[in-house]
Structure 1
Amino acid sequence: MIQLDDDTIKRLRLLQRKHKDKRVYIKVTVLLMLHQGFTAQMIAESLGIDDSTVYRYQQGFADLGLDDYLKDFFVAYSGQLTEEEEQLLRSEIRQGLYINSKQVAAYIQLKFGVRYSLSAVVKLLHRLGFSYKKTKGVGLKANREAQEQFVKELTDILAQSNDNQVVYFNDALHPQHNTRPDYGWIYKGEDFEIPSNPGRKRVNINGALNANEVTDVLVVESDRINAQSCIKLWEKQHRRHPQKTIINICDNAPYYHSKHLKEWLAENTWCKVIYLPPYAPNLNLIERLWKYLRKEVTSYNFYEHFTEFRKAILDFFKNIKEHKQALESLLTLNFHIVGI
């Protein structure tokens, strides 16, 4: 309980009626109800706040006096935003880049009048679904409109797919015989060492992934990726689907535009080629398969001899059906559009 003089009561009543800020209304009402003899529990229940907030407001008024108590910098409990305020904060941060917790704390105080310590901001951001990570560069040459048009055309092609047509995504892979350092949970102050090879030998793979069947993956290993390796790969497709038209989606690597390959395509009309927009690896479904292969086979595993390394990669493709469940989740026909 607190005692207020008549002038203070009049001033608080006026603020209570005229101030539009809900937080100020609550701060004023807490003082008036304490003066009237209400308990902290009764006030908290009436105003939808917790008991500890009432006690902090009471102590803040006693320590600061009315003028400083009413200023924006005094907030009794800075540990909570309302659910609605958290949604607004989430939307704000998703729309713009905040490079550190200090900027987020400043926004929260400016927008909601709530002061957070930097450590509290970090905890709040984690709870709201954010993580601190590198931004992703997008090449200025990537054309958003062209990518959107490609996805629309691809959707139409896949919708018209039937027993007479197969769509494959094509790309080359060149894994190097060396362990790739990657992220993992490692105790602070310690390193987690993994053996690596100094060699530079590579396995050259030309691959194709069926857009509608994640375990229908065909590969050709060769010394070089060129028109000849593409022809071998596409003839392999034809042997698997002899009665079907095969549509191959390819990037703009020079060998896909070579004279030799164009002449072969003219003679083999069952094979069609659709080119991805320039600078659009994000639209090539098989890129996700390559990333999965690196995670499962090459990034964390040490192969002392190149023959072991090569065998592990080729065995991955031979046993691709063992990964069906993971690949069905990963290789969905949902594409992230980038560019300007």
Structure 2
Amino acid sequence: MGIPEEKHLVEPALREISDKRMYERYLAVLHRLEGRTIKDISKMIKRTEKTTAGYIHSYEREELEGLSLGHSPGKPHRLMDEQERILANTVANKRPVDVGIEAKYTWTLKLAMLFVEREFGECYTEKGMSVLLHRLGLSHTKATYTMELANPEEQHTFTSKTFPALKKLMKQEIEHLLFEDECMIRAYQSLQYSWFPVGAQRRIPTYGRHEGAKLFGALNYETGQVLYRDGERYDTSAFIQFLDVVLKAYPTGKRVMILDNGRIHHAAEVRNYLKQHTRLQFVFLPKYPPDLNLIEGLWKWLKSDVVHNVFYKKFYHIRINVAAFMKRVNKKPVEVIDRLCIRM
């Protein structure tokens, strides 16, 4: 079979394959049939020259069948397929303490090595275990919180019925649809991963004070406009002052504000305020919504730009940078909509 005929077989197989690893092998073979060197191909598919050569040699021996995942072009795996499935399932769905590793709740390479040695009698180095876990589709990522008290049915009702109904009323009965929330921006907010020279670590100076800005914010779902107010406290009075900001910004038309069930949002003074300003209506989110309040994305954006890996010497410096951020995003409403509003 000549090279044109071989390409005629490999190209449709490449288009139809859905498995990422098989796609990589077919692609390597196709590049080889097109005359590229092993060195060039290895750079293109981001594999070692040894691995790439293994793909090519497997194809040369057994054609496309030789590339199947049952045919390892490199060093044979030390664990059997079933053992690898057990390892992957254990790390993904259980904690070390759940499988008898006492008082350990987070998987590390050393704990995975301990588990494999105990269960299967195979000893790995940390590097070898890292390679194995990555090959099994696992990665070293930061955990996140989930609200155990959240009600999935209430959240589904909001996303499938309540919010679509509100959107239908826009420009008819509702003139402005807003998402409201509060956020605390601390001077010592957080340290995050950052690119820096190998072997060195970025050091952030601190000043021993824990001041911060208490923000109220409202995101206009349709226009992308952001309103905010900072202050010294979160209480009913401060919230009502922010509502005054909202009413001043939107003096006409009915305004619907979507917000969480915070205590100050239900205060008697706030209820009286709404009676006096009947064109402002509250729609409360389900309890403990994980990501239904769109303005929470703005707070993450703000923290990423303004406070991560920064420690402010003066409190007013925080306010200056927060104001600059808000001014900047309000100049780019399309970006705000694309980043925060488009998903609902």
Instruction: Supply the distance in 2 between the matched residues of 1:225 and 1:179 (Cα, whole angstroms).
Output: 18
**3-state SS of the aligned residue for 2:341?**
coil
Q: Is structure 2 residue 57 aligned with structure 1 residue 48?
A: no
Q: Which amino acid aligns with 1:241?
A: Y
The 1:231–1:54 alpha-carbon spacing in structure 2 relative to 1, beyond 3 Å, is closer
**How many residues end up aligned between the 2 structures?**
264
Select the residue among 196, 199, 202 that pairs with 2:206: 196
Instruction: Supply the distance in 1 between the matched residues of 2:71 and 2:237 (Cα, whole angstroms).
Output: 78
Which segment drifts farther, 294-303 or 245-254? 294-303
Q: Is structure 2 residue 242 aligned with structure 1 residue 225?
A: no
Partner residue in 1 for 2:168:
160
Select the residue among 312, 316, 323 that pairs with 2:321: 312
- After superposition, give the CA deviation of every residue in 1:99-143 in whole Å (9 maximum; x if it has no partner): 56759x97xxx9xxxxx9975674476578642123333232121
**3-state SS of the aligned residue for 1:264?**
helix
Q: Which amino acid aligns with 1:296?
A: D
Q: Which has the greater radius of gyration?
A: 1
Segments of structure 1 that go 5 or more residues without pairing to the other structure are 1-39, 57-74, 82-87, 111-115, 336-340
Question: Aligned-pair distance for 1:265?
Answer: 0.7
The answer to whether the 8 Å contact 2:236/2:269 transfers is yes
**How high is the sequence identity, in percent, across the aligned residues?**
23
Q: Which amino acid aligns with 2:285?
A: L
TM-score normalized with structure 2 length = 0.62
Segments of structure 2 that go 5 or more residues without pairing to the other structure are 1-56, 96-106
Select the residue among 279, 286, 289 that pairs with 2:295: 286
Select the residue among 135, 139, 147 that pairs with 2:147: 139
The answer to whether the 8 Å contact 2:212/2:318 transfers is no
- After superposition, give the CA deviation of every residue in 1:251-298 in whole Å (9 maximum; x if it has no partner): 111111111110111121101111122222522111111011011011
Q: Is structure 2 residue 333 aligned with structure 1 residue 332?
A: no
Select the residue among 246, 251, 254 that pairs with 1:245: 254
Q: Which amino acid aligns with 1:225?
A: Y
Question: Aligned-pair distance for 1:212?
Answer: 2.4
The 1:129–1:155 alpha-carbon spacing in structure 2 relative to 1, beyond 3 Å, is farther
Give the 5 Å matches for 1:52-201.
Answer: 77-78=76-77, 96=93, 99=107, 102=112, 119=127, 122-123=130-131, 126=134, 130-164=138-172, 165=174, 166-178=176-188, 180-186=190-196, 189-201=199-211
Q: Which amino acid aligns with 1:147?
A: Q
Q: Which amino acid aligns with 2:259?
A: C
Instruction: Supply the distance in 2 between the matched residues of 1:301 and 1:261 (Cα, whole angstroms).
Output: 36
Q: Which amino acid aligns with 1:312?
A: N
The answer to whether the 8 Å contact 1:178/1:198 transfers is no
Instruction: Supply the distance in 2 between the matched residues of 1:325 and 1:238 (Cα, whole angstroms).
Output: 23
**3-state SS of the aligned residue for 2:148?**
coil
Instruction: Supply the distance in 1 between the matched residues of 2:285 and 2:238 (Cα, whole angstroms).
Output: 19
Partner residue in 2 for 1:210:
220
The 1:274–1:77 alpha-carbon spacing in structure 2 relative to 1, beyond 3 Å, is same
Question: Aligned-pair distance for 1:49?
Answer: 1.5
The 1:309–1:241 alpha-carbon spacing in structure 2 relative to 1, beyond 3 Å, is closer
Alpha-carbon RMSD across the aligned residues, in angstroms, is: 4.2
Partner residue in 1 for 2:42:
none
Question: Aligned-pair distance for 1:186?
Answer: 4.5
Partner residue in 1 for 2:243:
234
The 1:284–1:94 alpha-carbon spacing in structure 2 relative to 1, beyond 3 Å, is farther
Instruction: Supply the distance in 2 between the matched residues of 1:129 and 1:268 (Cα, whole angstroms).
Output: 55
